[in-house]
Structure 1
Amino acid sequence: MTTEISATLAQTHPYDLLAPDERDALAGKVGRRTMAAGDVIYAIGQPVTELCLILSGRIEITDQDGDLLSILGPRNSFGERGLMRDGIAPVTATATEPGEMLTIPADVFRALVAAHPRILRFFDRTRPASARRQDVTTMALSALMTRGPLTCAPETPLIEAARKMRELGVSCIIACEGQSVRGILTTGDITSRAVAEGLPPRTPVAQVMTPDPITLPPAALVADVLHKMVERGITHMPVVEGGRLVGILTQTDLTRFQATSSAALIHDIAAASDSAALARAARRIPDLLVQLVSAQNPHQVVTRLITDIGDAITRRLLALAEEKLGPPPVPYLWLACGSQGRQEQTGVSDQDNCLILDDAATPPDDEYFAALAGFVSDGLDEAGYFYCPGDMMATNIKWRQPLRVWKQYFRGWINRPDPEAQMLASVMFDLRPIGGAESLFPDLHAETLAAAAKNSIFVSHMISNSLKHHTPLGLFRGFATVRSGEHKNTIDLKHNGVVPVVDLGRIYALKGELTEANTRARLLAAIETGVVSTSGGRDLLDAYDMIADTRLAHQATQIKRGDPPDNFMAPADLSDFERSHLRDAFVVIKTMQNAAGSGRGYLN
């Protein structure tokens, strides 16, 4: 019997990776059992004591509500999720017809994967990332910033501040009240604003400093600093967490590192004199995407850097519009929604944007803002961010309104959640300020989140709406591919892979009043705050990472071939390993969708 089992293993992946003597040794430890139709191999919450390899028959995998997740046939294994987590079954496995299976005891299985990384990678859905090239621009500020920067009170005499800077050999001092940043004074400020103007030595720092400087949190990327420095012409970046100053990163700190091509691209964007120059810069984005993916950067880094470029193009167009049209009649705020709002842009993006105007705006003022919206949207289209097919743009007067109207919009969507309201809310809950008076947004954002979270009917409608995007799961570990047309035999990694997770992340954010707009950040916050169970949330995060990484790799491959990138990938282009794990990722998403739909998708 051992010889027969060894021969079966030799014809089954990943056991075919073993040397013959190792496979024979494993065969001697493998059991064999029969199953009858209706046998429950294990149920949710029960211990998983062995890995099962089907020889004949069929196994149905179902979730807590009895919804079918998968049908497994001969040469399919099951039980690895429980064995590689906490030893507890996350699903139910039931035989639907008589058959046989091989069983590998838990301790034997764990020893097997521990000794063979390639077999571990097959069974471990999370696929530990291979070593990535260390790139300073993708590091967090916390890794490079100078902690405990030099500070002073705003009323400190200029000469005392300058002496402190000289004593410590630093180029800036932060003016603080308590731990709150009020301004920054650099050696350049002292030269150009104090000495050159002949100010008295005891002039308060507050009169010379740059007030309310741009700051970033320690979790931001170094690339974020580079982009801000290049775009805004600044050389120092205070690092603030929870309203408290925790560090400083200066241009001098970065001189020993080469700026990435994304920073160089933003430099050209900031200097662009017209929309044609911006379009030329944007044409370099596909090459940047290939470079970032080739360097094995995770999807959240790639999409952040790509989105930074879209943000910079938008802000430059706003500046060019004001140069052409003159100063705005009232303060305004340009916001992005959709993938740009979530900082998740890839090589394929249209534009979704809107304008919030100060409540002092009058009807005649709309002539100016209509012209501004047209200039910016036309420039974005020229740069490759195509017009939104649904007209979700600031060029549509509906999405170019005073703050009070926007508040009415959100109240109406929340109180009367019809299908159109659900669709609009799904887009608009991903808003992120890009340029203009950011003070117009925080109150709207906070009030909307609070009102939405308290309205259980609205949240229920949003959940129902989110479940309309189905994962591409077929039977017998296959994929439900597009059946006809231009994309026949492919799966849509965006609408059937990424979007379902985006929808779930948005639901968690509403339920927990989480302020994050980025999907991955929403999932992490939902796990940390208990909005979603730790095990379910971690599984969903792993699944999202796998699908999003696969999507970017697919687009990078298309670009390298000279083809325009899209979201339609043929499963046949993947290896057995990749297909198996990608399908597992879709199973996780479907499981979490079912949990959300049944009301179990939140607290433990």
Structure 2
Amino acid sequence: MHDVSQITSFLARVHPYDALSAEELADVAGAIEVVSVPADASVYDVGDTLKGLYVVAEGEVSVSDASGAQVSQLGSGNSFAERGLSRDGKAVTAAKAVTDAQLFLLPASVFHRLVKENPSVAKFFKRSRTGDSRKTDLSTARISELMSRQVIGVTPGQSVQRAAQVMRERGVSSLAVVDGGRLVGIVTVRDMTRALADGVSPEEKVTTLMTADPVSLPPEALGTDVLHTMLERRIGHLPITDKGTLVGIVTQTDLIRFQALSSAQLVYDAAHAADSAEIARVTQRLPELLAQLVGAGNPHEVVTRLITDIADAATRRLLTLAEAALGAPPVPYLWLACGSQGRQEQTGVSDQDNCLIIDDAMQPEHDAYFKALSKFVSDGLDHAGYFYCPGDMMATADRWRQPLAVWKDYFAKWIAKPDNEAQMLASVMFDLRPIGGTTALFDDLREATLRSAASNSIFVAHMVSNSLKHTPPLGMFRGFATIKSGEHKNQIDLKHNGVVPIVDLGRVYALQGQLTAVNTRARLVEAQEQGIISKSGAHDLLDAYDLVAETRLNHQAAQIRAGAKPDNFMAPTSLSDFERSHLRDAFVVVRTMQSAVGQGKGALG
């Protein structure tokens, strides 16, 4: 038996209880019930109502999922059952004693109070990010938090003089030109100054001065989108629209209270670089930026978005420099990114994956221009650290630099005859995102391809099969299936066996639901909203994705801080027992979701 003093002494050596004050620790120890469980006996089963949190005092306990697969084997000092306590009190795993075991049972009410009142305990047990409070800055703030909702506007029929009077009366530096609630243009003080200098009549309609169809952003975008857009386009006023309807505006004045992150400076520097060497000097600062963003506690999807924004700016600048060197393009074109850049999920390790869609007016003699442009941009990206794609998935390859009609034919053939190569290529191309050029070349292609692919059950089945080729690194017993030999022996690949299986699942859900989102996390959220996967399945998978992706970024940030080159290979022994347990738990969730998709059940059951 254990008395209160013995329990107190034990917990004082176990994290996170070692962070409690002496008074808190005494209260916890006094509330604990000692439970003895003989070898092979059950502690609880899936679906049981949990009495509280268990801490292993002596012996070993095996935890398994609903299918019976072992999640982890826990020894002295490990806690378990907190997942069930954080939801409806029902166990989502099963636990049994491997050896004779003594467990400390902390009542659920005491556990919840500890999590609520003690930040160290809350941080230790918090797996879901829901409700997680993070420092908000310009980079992570939603535009809806930054914008002015009281937008001063005029109608298209009003005169230049009346517009100037409104500006003076309301003390604003810009006016929205609105027709029936829809934004049609914007007029700024600079436009007024230019009109005065040019002798424009005050009676002219304001439409003669306005910037028609100005660039705008949706309210759900990030604050960094505002800053990046303003810096890259050299504008000081950015309308915010929701499906074409004007809902607000952000100006430089609105941003004064925020301290811009260095990502915005890197975007600006890349967007105004004189040559590829200067772009390379900008991207050399990316590892430090990644480490700073991770260290600040930003969610993984924000970190990778900011890192990708810099690649986008570098690519667009290289396109501009290429046109300056080669002359204007003979016909319109569109440069697109696929892979991690296309999904806006770049980390500290990225190669380049891109392609070129050219207007169907292209003539055979025009290919020399686009071949030279592609080489200029790809060479510049390689110089900047975005290395050539090992699979030659780049616009420099003749195959991936074609007119729109050829691209339509590609997708039609892949969908009609989904062999192994077609599956691989379609998987890559479903992550396409326009970067620079005429975006209209892609609009119809995306929707038409999604409709055609989703309606072909054979193609969908092949895509599902292809998505199961990457599996989580789960070992047969308590650990992980690590790499057996070579440079990365005893490590796990957090890319190909970590995030890629979830990326593949997100792509399948997007195909099944004809979802237009390209980012993986956005796909999972949209799949839940559209009923492609159940709320519980989506909740588990999002938790798993967040844990795996953030483990990967934390690993890379630690390497950068140590002066090493970041990679995707991590030794599980570098994690604590608790971290290993939850990471393995996340991999079990992914495997379960893969199994459901493979059996044609989705995650609705």
Provide the TM-score with structure 2 as the length reference: 0.91
Pairs within 5 Å for 1:78-89? 78-89=80-91
CA distance in 1, matches of 2:11, 2:268: 57
Is the Cα contact below 8 Å between 1:335 and 1:434 reproduced in 2?
A: yes
Q: Which residue of 1 aligns with 2:45?
A: 42
Amino acid at match of 2:193: T
Deviation at 1:2, TM superposition (A): 3.7
Distance of aligned partners of 1:486 and 1:211 in 2 relative to their CA distance in 1, 3 Å threshold: same
Distance of aligned partners of 1:128 and 1:522 in 2 relative to their CA distance in 1, 3 Å threshold: closer
Deviation at 1:100, TM superposition (A): 4.9
Amino acid at match of 1:181: L
Deviation at 1:398, TM superposition (A): 0.9
Q: Which residue of 2 aligns with 1:310?
A: 311
Amino acid at match of 2:251: T
Is the Cα contact below 8 Å between 2:353 and 2:393 reproduced in 1?
A: yes
CA distance in 2, matches of 1:262, 1:204: 40
Moved more, 468-477 or 143-152: 468-477
Is the Cα contact below 8 Å between 2:146 and 2:255 reproduced in 1?
A: no
Q: Which residue of 2 aligns with 1:152?
A: 154
Is the Cα contact below 8 Å between 1:152 and 1:161 reproduced in 2?
A: yes
CA distance in 2, matches of 1:175, 1:113: 51
Per-residue Cα deviation, 1:410-463 (whole angstroms, up to 9, x for no partner): 122222222211111111111110000011111111111122222232222222
Deviation at 1:550, TM superposition (A): 2.1
SS in 2 for 1:395: coil
SS in 2 for 1:262: helix
Is the Cα contact below 8 Å between 2:521 and 2:542 reproduced in 1?
A: yes
Moved more, 155-164 or 183-192: 155-164
Is the Cα contact below 8 Å between 1:50 and 1:103 reproduced in 2?
A: no
Deviation at 1:13, TM superposition (A): 4.5
Is the Cα contact below 8 Å between 1:125 and 1:584 reproduced in 2?
A: no
Q: Which residue of 1 aligns with 2:380?
A: 379
SS in 1 for 2:164: helix
Deviation at 1:330, TM superposition (A): 0.9
CA distance in 2, matches of 1:462, 1:543: 22
Is the Cα contact below 8 Å between 2:61 and 2:101 reproduced in 1?
A: no
Amino acid at match of 2:453: A
Is the Cα contact below 8 Å between 1:338 and 1:431 reproduced in 2?
A: yes
Pairs within 5 Å for 1:355-366? 355-366=356-367
Per-residue Cα deviation, 1:323-353 (whole angstroms, up to 9, x for no partner): 1111111111000011111111111110000
Amino acid at match of 2:159: P
Deviation at 1:261, TM superposition (A): 1.9
CA distance in 1, matches of 2:185, 2:511: 35
SS in 2 for 1:136: coil
Distance of aligned partners of 1:24 and 1:299 in 2 relative to their CA distance in 1, 3 Å threshold: closer
Deviation at 1:189, TM superposition (A): 1.2
CA distance in 2, matches of 1:74, 1:471: 24
Is the Cα contact below 8 Å between 2:83 and 2:92 reproduced in 1?
A: yes
SS in 2 for 1:146: coil
CA distance in 1, matches of 2:150, 2:129: 38
Pairs within 5 Å for 1:412-561? 412-561=413-562
Provide the TM-score with structure 1 as the length reference: 0.91
SS in 1 for 2:544: helix
Pairs within 5 Å for 1:47-196? 47-51=49-53, 56=59, 59=62, 61-63=64-66, 66=67, 68-72=69-73, 74-75=75-76, 77-91=79-93, 93=94, 100=101, 102=103, 104=105, 106-107=108-109, 109-111=111-113, 113-114=115-116, 117-126=119-128, 132-192=134-194, 194-196=195-197
Is the Cα contact below 8 Å between 1:337 and 1:353 reproduced in 2?
A: yes
CA distance in 1, matches of 2:117, 2:177: 57
Q: Which residue of 1 aligns with 2:393?
A: 392
CA distance in 1, matches of 2:475, 2:354: 36
Is the Cα contact below 8 Å between 1:52 and 1:101 reproduced in 2?
A: no
How many residues end up aligned between the 2 structures?
597
1:209 equivalent to 2:210? Answer yes
Distance of aligned partners of 1:202 and 1:414 in 2 relative to their CA distance in 1, 3 Å threshold: same
Amino acid at match of 2:289: L
Distance of aligned partners of 1:67 and 1:470 in 2 relative to their CA distance in 1, 3 Å threshold: farther
Amino acid at match of 1:489: N
CA distance in 1, matches of 2:412, 2:97: 50
1:25 equivalent to 2:27? Answer no
Distance of aligned partners of 1:162 and 1:503 in 2 relative to their CA distance in 1, 3 Å threshold: same
Deviation at 1:50, TM superposition (A): 5.0
CA distance in 1, matches of 2:339, 2:548: 18
Amino acid at match of 2:480: F
Deviation at 1:312, TM superposition (A): 0.6
Gaps of 5+ in 2: none
Percent of aligned positions that are identical: 57
Q: Which residue of 2 aligns with 1:586?
A: 587
Give the alignment's Cα RMSD to 1 decimal. Answer: 2.7
Is the Cα contact below 8 Å between 1:341 and 1:517 reproduced in 2?
A: yes
1:280 equivalent to 2:281? Answer yes
Distance of aligned partners of 1:332 and 1:107 in 2 relative to their CA distance in 1, 3 Å threshold: same
Deviation at 1:79, TM superposition (A): 3.2
Is the Cα contact below 8 Å between 2:263 and 2:310 reproduced in 1?
A: yes
Deviation at 1:568, TM superposition (A): 1.3
Per-residue Cα deviation, 1:469-523 (whole angstroms, up to 9, x for no partner): 1212235542222222112222211112111111111112112211111111112
Per-residue Cα deviation, 1:29-85 (whole angstroms, up to 9, x for no partner): 233344657x69423x4544455566557646243xx36242535546543322221
Gaps of 5+ in 1: none
Is the Cα contact below 8 Å between 1:508 and 1:602 reproduced in 2?
A: no
SS in 1 for 2:90: coil
Distance of aligned partners of 1:514 and 1:485 in 2 relative to their CA distance in 1, 3 Å threshold: same
CA distance in 2, matches of 1:250, 1:284: 28
CA distance in 2, matches of 1:276, 1:602: 49
Distance of aligned partners of 1:67 and 1:12 in 2 relative to their CA distance in 1, 3 Å threshold: farther
CA distance in 2, matches of 1:237, 1:517: 24
CA distance in 2, matches of 1:562, 1:247: 44
